[in-house]
Amino acid sequence: MKCPLGKEMYGLPETDPRYAEVQAHLRSCFMCRARWDDQEAVRQLIALKRYEQPAPGCEARTLAAIHTRVAAQWAAAGWWQDAQARWYAERFEPVRLALAAAAVLLLLGGGYYLVRPSGSSSPARPAPALALEDQRPLPHPDSPAPAATGLPPMLVAASNREPVRMDYGPGPSVPVKYDY
């Protein structure tokens, strides 16, 4: 038990599991015992105020005043507030529950939208496959140049890191790395 006792230990109710430990400490610690007794003495002194009694007729006066004021308020409010009061009392609870459920769903949906893996909004696009003519083995440097096809030169790049085959027109293809 910490000594001196913490402020929140003073006045622990007997039902508190720490109560027995505090009492054991108070039996062995003069300083904490004195402080405990001071607190108790002030409590008992101030509790004498409970003997103060309202003047006779106080309740009747208050009751009459409240009765008049509340009746006037209810009358002035008329049917509209009456209907509002009834609606709040009888119908608002289910509406409130439905609104709460909708808010929870909205939060869950919004939360999922925010935490979902990035880019999952559109399906992953596979890297473009090399055209069939680009998958053929590289020509031997001594092999004759392929015949001109008459087609315009075609550039294919699957990524800028891996060397890709590029055709410069009718001549032999050479691997080129775009790692800049």
Partner 1 sequence: MEPSPAAPPSTVAADEGDLLRRVRHHDLAAGDELVRRYHGRIYNLLYHMTSNREDAEDLTQDVFVKALSALHRFRGGSTFYTWLYRIALNHGINFLKKRGRREMMSLDGLDPAVEHDPFYVELRARESPVREASLGELQIRLNAALRKLSDKHRTVVVLHDIQGLPHEEIARMIRTSEGTVRSRLFYARRQLQQALKEFAP
Residues that bind partner 1 (CB under 8 A): 7-14, 36-55, 58-59, 61-63, 65-67, 69-71, 73-74, 82, 84-86, 88-89, 92
Q: Which residues pair with 164 in a beta bridge?
A: 176
- Of 133, 126, 125, the closest CA to residue 156 belongs to 133
Nearer to partner 1, 70 or 104 (CB): 70
Give min distance, CB of 121 to partner 1, in A: 41
Nearer to partner 1, 47 or 132 (CB): 47
Nearer to partner 1, 50 or 140 (CB): 50
Alpha carbon distance 167, 152 (integer Å): 10
Q: Which residues of 61-70 are buried (b: 16+ CB within 10 A; e: fewer)?
A: eeeeeeeeee
Give min distance, CB of 103 to partner 1, in A: 17
Sort 166 into a burial class: Cβ within 10 Å, 0-12 / 13-18 / 19+. middle
Give min distance, CB of 43 to partner 1, in A: 5
